[in-house]
Amino acid sequence: MALNDLSTFTRMRQTGTYKPLSAETRNVLTRRLSPSINETERHTVRCLVFIEHPENGRSSLWCTYGSKLKVFNVTTWICDPSDILFPSTITCMCLDARYKLWVGCIHGQLFVVDTLTRTCGPQLALIDGEGGCEAIAFDVRRNYILTATRSSSITSWNASNWERLNHINLCEIYKAAHNEQEKTFKSEAVITFRTTTGSSNMGKNQNKKPIFPVVPNQSNDQMDIPSKNIFK
């Protein structure tokens, strides 16, 4: 009934009309699905993993709340009264092919939880790096679990026997590939001043006197002087 009301409410909001939630729907949304019930300290939910077991048909929702792992029954949406505790805040989770839940913590602790029996084994490893274990991914083709830290460190694990396989640092590989070492760069510039031929000739001829051209045949012309006195 609560789910029907919730879906109706969602549909009504999409159409633009408002329908208030029933008391049962509010109870489910604010109390039964809240991992902070009976908790004195508030935490942020970091990750959720939905698990469906085809053998027994039991489905569950695994929720990280601070350093606790809470399990909800998806049929009744009631939280399991017994939480699984970890030494530090849970940062990531990942499910492998055998329904084993890998859990990483902020201080680097790595655990594997059996989701069928809901029991946690001993600490598998302590991952060094900034922020502890930040992310976990499952490689289905190789059956590997990959754990990563904030400092670009990645470790691969065999998901069947939990054996550590390889460890690499992406930042170091990138620096080696690009040969990014500290280098001192020096820039030089050569400036050559050139003068044109015309400007240099003008400088040489500035102190010379000007030469005026002579009109040809003007100085060679004879003047006719009258022989008689024209004045009386």
Judge residue 77's burial from the number of C-beta atoms within 10 Å of its C-beta, 0-12 exposed, 13-18 middle, 19 or more buried: middle
State pTM to two decimals. 0.64
Q: For tokens 């939905």, name the residue.
A: 50
Q: If you ran DSSP here, which 8-state letter would residue 68 be given?
A: E
Confidence band of 185 (pLDDT split at 50, 70, 90): low
CA 127 – CA 148 distance, rounded (Å): 9
Mean pLDDT of the chain: 79
pLDDT at 114 over 90: yes
CA 216 – CA 213 distance, rounded (Å): 9
- Which carries the bigger pLDDT value, residue 191 or residue 125? 125
Query: What percentage of the chain reaches a pLDDT higher than 90?
Result: 36
pLDDT at 156 over 60: yes
Please name each of the domains of the chain with its CATH number.
1-32 (no CATH), 40-178 (2.130.10.10)
How confident is the model over 28-77, as pLDDT tens digits?
666 667 788 778 888 888 899 999 877 777 789 999 999 999 999 888 88
Averaged pLDDT, 81-90: 93
What pLDDT, on a 0 to 100 scale, did the predictor assign at position 178?
77
What pLDDT, on a 0 to 100 scale, did the predictor assign at position 230?
47
| Lowest mean pLDDT across 101-115, 137-151, 202-216 | 202-216
Using only C-alpha atoms, what is the Rg of the chain?
Answer: 45
Element (H, E) at 10: helix 2-15
- Which carries the bigger pLDDT value, residue 8 or residue 179? 179
CA 69 – CA 67 distance, rounded (Å): 7
pLDDT at 211 over 60: no
pLDDT at 86 over 90: yes
